[in-house]
Amino acid sequence: MTDQRFGLAGAVAIVTGAGNGLGRAEAVALAAGGARLVLNDLPGDAVAAVAAEIAAAGGEATVCTGDIGEWSTGESLLTTALDTYGRLDILVNNAGVLRDRMVFTMSAHEWDLVLRVHLRGHFVTTRFATAHWRERSKALGSPVYARIINTSSEAFLLGSPGQPNYAAAKAGVVALTVATARSCARYGVRANAICPRARTAMTADLMGPTPDGVADPLSPEHVAPLVSYLASPAGARINGEVFVIHGGVAAVLAPPTVRASFQTDGGSWSPHALHDALGPLFRQDPPGAGFACEATLPLATTTFGEGT
């Protein structure tokens, strides 16, 4: 008998970037859990093939193609979910693109494109989904069932040198996630972000080829279970959190903390007083880049068996 805490029977989910890689794996996993899917990607055969794959396995999926950065695409996704299935319960934002370059050689187009697809794309879908859930909650007089799973990246933690556009976009995704979690919790919305490591077409140049003869520890299929879990009833108490997920690793990040705090005796700081207070904190010469979190890089697993 299926544990209802983790089941998604009857739920309706939008998945963006569903044509391949992480989006495809997440959509397939949600469908296997019983969810009915609205799949988004740019027009082409890939996303239609994923819908066909889900249907062949006994699931339900419909396709709503379009540029995720367009306001009209967000409207169409919500309309498609409501017209096709009569409801929306889950939003998985995954669509992305890379235009890697050092900050001193990056073009305006390379910056704008990445911010548009990742950050604006997350906002557009979130805006329409949360407006719908807020309206429903007010009509019902109680919170609704609503889940948002956003896709960030460890790039925002590391300040990836060759990805200033991507790192900035993914930091923005986390901020958007926390703001959504705080502002929409009263309506039943649970918004969380994942930082996946996965070997996909988008990351192939960074992560190299799939290893021969062994299971790929960076397969997108390792990420999908966390998405399904956060989308499920069991995820009701998880809100505004950020996870790192890959292979056998699932880590919950702590919020930023205050490293040190000082107070001046006078009415305001002087440069000299600031140097006396802050200088002892920064003695590395040449200075390294601060405010980066490399603690995720050596993450190892803590093993839990089935049913633990």
User: Average pLDDT of 85-112?
Assistant: 97
Percent of the chain at pLDDT > 90 equals: 76
Specify whether 138 is catalytic.
Answer: no
pLDDT confidence of residue 304: 42
Specify whether 166 is catalytic.
Answer: yes
Percent of the chain at pLDDT > 70 equals: 89
Strands 90-93, 12-16: pairing is parallel
User: What pTM value is reported for the model?
Assistant: 0.90
Q: Which residues contact 38 (CB under 8 A, 6 or more apart)?
A: 12, 13, 14, 15, 61, 62, 63, 64, 77, 80, 81, 84, 85
Which of 76, 152, 153, 160 is an active site residue? Answer: 153
Specify whether 228 is catalytic.
Answer: no
Which among 102, 241, 129 is positioned nearest to 188, based on CA atoms?
A: 129
Which of 170, 187, 229, 232 is an active site residue? Answer: 170
For residues 238 and 191, give the distance between their C-alpha atoms in angstroms, rounded to a whole number: 8
pLDDT confidence of residue 88: 98
Structure tokens at 253: 């990040």
User: Average pLDDT of 139-167?
Assistant: 96
Question: pLDDT band at 216, cuts 50/70/90?
Answer: low
Helices 121-140/164-184 angle, 10° precision: 10
43, 65 in Cβ contact below 8 A? yes
User: Average pLDDT of 51-62?
Assistant: 98
